[in-house]
Amino acid sequence: MDKVFNVIIEKDTDGFYVSSVPALKGCHTQANSLDELMERTKEVIELCLETENSMFEANEFIGVQRLVLSV
Protein backbone atom coordinates (compact mmCIF):
# COMPACT_ATOMS: atom_id res chain seq x y z
CA MET A 1 0.00 0.00 0.00
CA ASP A 2 1.35 3.41 -0.98
CA LYS A 3 1.45 6.21 1.58
CA VAL A 4 1.59 9.83 0.46
CA PHE A 5 3.46 12.46 2.47
CA ASN A 6 3.69 16.21 2.13
CA VAL A 7 7.30 17.37 2.36
CA ILE A 8 8.36 20.95 3.07
CA ILE A 9 11.75 21.90 1.60
CA GLU A 10 13.74 24.97 2.58
CA LYS A 11 17.30 26.17 2.09
CA ASP A 12 19.12 27.29 5.24
CA THR A 13 21.63 30.11 5.60
CA ASP A 14 24.56 27.69 5.15
CA GLY A 15 23.20 26.50 1.78
CA PHE A 16 21.88 23.12 2.97
CA TYR A 17 18.50 21.88 1.78
CA VAL A 18 16.26 20.91 4.69
CA SER A 19 13.12 18.78 4.46
CA SER A 20 10.36 18.35 7.04
CA VAL A 21 7.45 15.93 6.99
CA PRO A 22 4.60 17.53 8.99
CA ALA A 23 2.61 14.28 9.33
CA LEU A 24 5.48 12.64 11.25
CA LYS A 25 6.62 14.42 14.39
CA GLY A 26 10.38 15.07 14.36
CA CYS A 27 10.79 13.79 10.80
CA HIS A 28 13.33 15.98 9.04
CA THR A 29 16.74 15.80 7.38
CA GLN A 30 19.21 17.87 5.36
CA ALA A 31 21.56 17.50 2.38
CA ASN A 32 23.76 19.41 -0.05
CA SER A 33 21.58 18.74 -3.12
CA LEU A 34 17.89 18.22 -3.82
CA ASP A 35 18.48 14.72 -5.22
CA GLU A 36 20.35 13.69 -2.09
CA LEU A 37 17.69 15.35 0.07
CA MET A 38 14.90 13.31 -1.53
CA GLU A 39 16.77 10.05 -0.93
CA ARG A 40 17.46 11.00 2.70
CA THR A 41 13.84 12.08 3.15
CA LYS A 42 12.59 8.68 1.99
CA GLU A 43 14.97 7.00 4.46
CA VAL A 44 13.95 9.20 7.38
CA ILE A 45 10.24 8.65 6.64
CA GLU A 46 10.81 4.88 6.78
CA LEU A 47 12.66 5.27 10.10
CA CYS A 48 9.95 7.49 11.54
CA LEU A 49 7.25 5.01 10.51
CA GLU A 50 9.16 2.20 12.23
CA THR A 51 9.44 4.14 15.50
CA GLU A 52 5.87 5.40 15.38
CA ASN A 53 4.58 1.90 14.58
CA SER A 54 3.20 2.99 11.19
CA MET A 55 0.76 5.44 12.82
CA PHE A 56 0.44 8.82 11.15
CA GLU A 57 -2.22 11.27 10.13
CA ALA A 58 -1.88 12.63 6.64
CA ASN A 59 -3.17 16.16 6.38
CA GLU A 60 -4.69 17.44 3.17
CA PHE A 61 -2.22 19.70 1.37
CA ILE A 62 -3.67 23.16 0.82
CA GLY A 63 -0.68 25.27 -0.13
CA VAL A 64 2.32 27.22 1.08
CA GLN A 65 2.17 30.82 2.18
CA ARG A 66 5.06 33.12 3.06
CA LEU A 67 4.28 35.54 5.89
CA VAL A 68 6.47 38.59 6.55
CA LEU A 69 6.46 40.22 9.99
CA SER A 70 8.26 43.34 11.10
CA VAL A 71 9.80 42.56 14.49
Per-residue pLDDT tens, the chain, 71 aa: give them. Answer: 788 899 999 999 999 999 999 988 899 999 999 999 999 999 999 999 888 665 667 788 899 888 999 98
What domains, with CATH codes, occur in the chain? 8-51 (3.30.160.250)
Element (H, E) at 41: helix 34-51
Contacts 24+ apart (CB under 8 A), 7-14: 7/41, 8/64, 9/34, 9/37
